[in-house]
Amino acid sequence: MSSGFTLVEMVVVLAIITVISGVVLSSQTSFNKTLVLANTAYDIALTVRSVETFGVSSSGLSVNGVGYGLHFDTASPTSFTLFKDIDPAPSNSFCHSPLPLSDPNGPDAKRGDCVYNPDPTKGEWVKDYKVENGIYISRFCTAKASGDWKCKEVGVTGTDEEGEGDAKLSFVDIVFTRPNPSPFIAVNRKKNKIQLRSKACLEISAPGSSITRSIFILPSGAITVSATRCQAG
């Protein structure tokens, strides 16, 4: 007498192996996406933190004594720009306090308008950052001090005719300048009207995944990464 596997038994075993392999590979892929997403969120948060250090310490990459910021364009969700806020010269800009009358060119006089100017003749560009591994900024959110989050979701067009929401948001600029760590957050919405916000949130996603990570930039200067979605934070 000889023993062995029947064809049915072999097919059943192969089916079980296939199912288990599929579950393992699927779980591994999901874990990898989660890990990459978390790492990317922390990379962006650390970049914001470094810009905060440049601006508050008044010791920057190429020009000292000026504010430094990051420019996030809703039309380019896979990249953002580091800039030095040097244009225009010291003035009563909408985002800074009035110039000291005694010394408009002194240390308390601040250059810039808290908005990135891409004109190469203005010299504000410092460096471009690329969001890698297929990750992209899927939602740009800002809020006033006592208001709710207003968000622009990538790929969704809005009908914000009254200018109270951010459906037509085109950019978010986050600037840090001496002496306080509180950020100046400028947004551009209806009819190129630039306004200030108190806090911002950048939500990042990966294609084919419902998992997200959010980077919160708060009025105190705190920068945090959370699994909480921007609108719920």
* % of the chain beyond a pLDDT of 70: 75
Residue 214 has pLDDT above 90, yes or no: yes
Residue 17 has pLDDT above 50, yes or no: yes
Q: What is the pLDDT of residues 44-77, one digit of tens each?
A: 999 999 999 988 886 656 566 688 999 999 999 9
Residue 81 has pLDDT above 70, yes or no: yes
Q: Binning pLDDT at 50, 70 and 90, where does residue 95 land?
A: confident
Nearest to 143 by CA among 214, 50, 67, 54: 214
Nearest to 73 by CA among 83, 88, 63: 83
Cα(38)–Cα(186) distance, rounded to whole angstroms?
26
Cα(41)–Cα(24) distance, rounded to whole angstroms?
26
pLDDT of residue 163: 44
pLDDT of residue 105: 66
Q: List, in order, residues 6 or more apart from 42 with CB less than 8 Å away.
A: 225
CB 56 within 8 A of CB 85: no
pLDDT of residue 25: 53
Give mean pLDDT, residues 89-108.
70
Q: What is the pLDDT of residues 171-192, one digit of tens each?
A: 999 999 888 889 999 998 666 6
pLDDT of residue 14: 77
Instruction: Look up residue 128 and give its two tokens.
Output: 């471009």
Under DSSP, is residue 110 helix (H, G, I), strand (E, B) or coil? Answer: coil
Q: What is the pLDDT of residues 110-124, one digit of tens each?
A: 788 899 999 999 999
Residue with token string 């306004």: 195
Q: What is the pLDDT of residues 117-170, one digit of tens each?
A: 999 999 999 999 999 889 999 999 999 888 889 898 886 655 443 344 555 788
pLDDT of residue 98: 66
pLDDT of residue 194: 86
As a whole number, the mean pLDDT across the chain is 82
